[in-house]
Amino acid sequence: MKALVGAIVVPAVLAVSACGSSGDGAFAISDVDYPDTVVSDGPRGNLTIYWSGDPAFPITAAFRPTEGGCPAGVTCFMPEQSFQDRVNPIVFVDSPRCFGVTERVVFDYEIQIMDADGEATDPYPAPFVCVPQ
C-alpha cells in the first residue's frame, strides 16, 4: 500500500481586522478544530487554530507527523502556511487530507506555530484517520 498525505502550501494573507491575542502568557496553541477522519481522495479538511500570547507577525503554522507518526509504506507531507495578519483563530486550509489509501490508516500529526522572532509554540497533537472511499 502506498498512500500520500499532505496539503498544498498556500500563503494565507487575511484582510481581517486584528482580533489580537490575549497578550497574556506565553505564545501557545490553545485549541485546534479539525476533522479527525478524512476520506482518501476526498475533500480536504481545514485546521482552525486558536492561539494565545503576543507573537511577532508574520507567523507560520506547520502540520507534520510526530516522530514515528508516519506509517510505514506511506509518504507523509509536512505542509506549512504563513499568516501575515493578527487574527485569532487562524485557518490552515487544505489539511488534513490523504489520497491513494486502500485501507484505514492512522496518522499521528501535530501542529506547531513559529513567529517572526523564531519563538515557537509547543506542538499540539492533531492525529487523524484516513479511510478509503
Per residue in 4-33, pLDDT (tens digit) is 444 333 333 333 333 444 445 799 999 999
The mean of the pLDDT values for the chain is 84
Domains identified in the chain, total number: 1
pLDDT exceeds cutoff 50 at 2: no
Q: What's the confidence (pLDDT) of residue 3?
A: 42
For cell 480536504, the residue is: 44
Residue 126, domain member (yes or no): no
Whether 55 is covered by a domain: the verdict is yes
Which pTM does this prediction carry? 0.79
**Contact call for residues 18 and 57 (beta carbons, < 8 A):** no
Would you say 16 and 87 are in contact if contact means Cβ atoms under 8 Å apart? Answer: yes
Q: Does residue 129 belong to any structural domain of this protein?
A: no
Residue 106 reports pLDDT greater than 60: yes
Please tell me the predicted confidence (pLDDT) of residue 74.
Answer: 86
Is the model more confident about 9 or about 60? 60
Instruction: Kindly report the CATH number assigned to the domain that includes residue 61.
Output: 2.60.40
Yes or no: say if 86 and 58 are a contact pair by the CB < 8 Å rule.
no
Could you please report the per-residue DSSP string of 36-68?
SEEETTS----EEEEEES-PPSSEEEEEEEPTT
